[in-house]
Amino acid sequence: MKPPSGPKKQTQYKPNLRKAKNPLPENPATPLFSHDSIIACLTWGFRLYYQGWICMRGRTMSEQVKIELFDNPRPERDYCINISCPEFTSLCPRTGQPDFGEIVIEYCPDKSCIELKSLKFYMQGYRDKGIFYEALTNDILDDLSTLCKPRWMKVTSRFTPRGGIKTEVIAEYKSEK
């Protein structure tokens, strides 16, 4: 076997020299779209989104998830049910950035209990909703306490720190019996 002699010949890349039609304008300072057309598209898109015409994960925004209930197996006894949703997300209404947190629901059922799968879908409905922590916590408490009418219910929302500030909101409901 003979060793190679001399430097190895390198092949250069040769681009295809056929002239393709360039869709971009000749002057790079020329905008592709006018400012007014961009604003009109954005306005129309947001209008469709907020009116519920654009679907998110198979559901329209206006469609409410129905929380299902089942009969309390021991209505004569006082006992506490703790439900934790550690991967809760919603959107900041000011910045549109996601807020991550944990929602803890504690309640003493009366005649009915909350079914967990439907509760999961209800909680996922907040992923694309811009809402403040305080309103969110009270909305969840209002929805759940109105639906299952517990003897007592407490909703605690703990959100991850943002800008060095950790927020925890607690709302409570007591039956008038």
CA–CA gap between residue 22 and residue 24 (Å, rounded): 5
Return the pLDDT at 162.
87
Question: Exactly one of 36, 78, 80, 99 is catalytic; which is it?
Answer: 99
What are the pLDDT tens digits along the chain (177 aa)?
666 666 666 656 555 555 555 555 666 666 656 666 666 555 555 554 554 444 444 443 335 789 999 999 999 999 999 999 999 999 999 999 999 999 999 999 999 999 999 999 999 999 999 999 999 999 999 999 999 999 999 999 999 998 899 999 999 999 986
Residue type, 148: C
Q: Is 71 assigned a catalytic role? A: no
Return the pLDDT at 176.
85
Which residues partner with 60 through β-bridges?
55
CA–CA gap between residue 130 and residue 92 (Å, rounded): 5
Q: What share of the chain is helix, strand, coil (3-state, %, to 5)?
A: 25, 30, 45
Question: Exactly one of 92, 108, 110, 143 is catalytic; which is it?
Answer: 92
* Domain assignments of the chain as residue spans, ordered by start: 30-62, 64-174
Angle (nearest 5°) at CA 12 between 7 and 16: 165
Q: pTM of the full predicted structure?
A: 0.65
Q: Is 64-174 in CATH node 2.30.30.60?
A: no
Three-state secondary structure call for residue 160: strand
Return the pLDDT at 163.
87
Return the pLDDT at 40.
58
Return the pLDDT at 31.
60
CA-nearest of 172, 118, 170 to 145 is 172
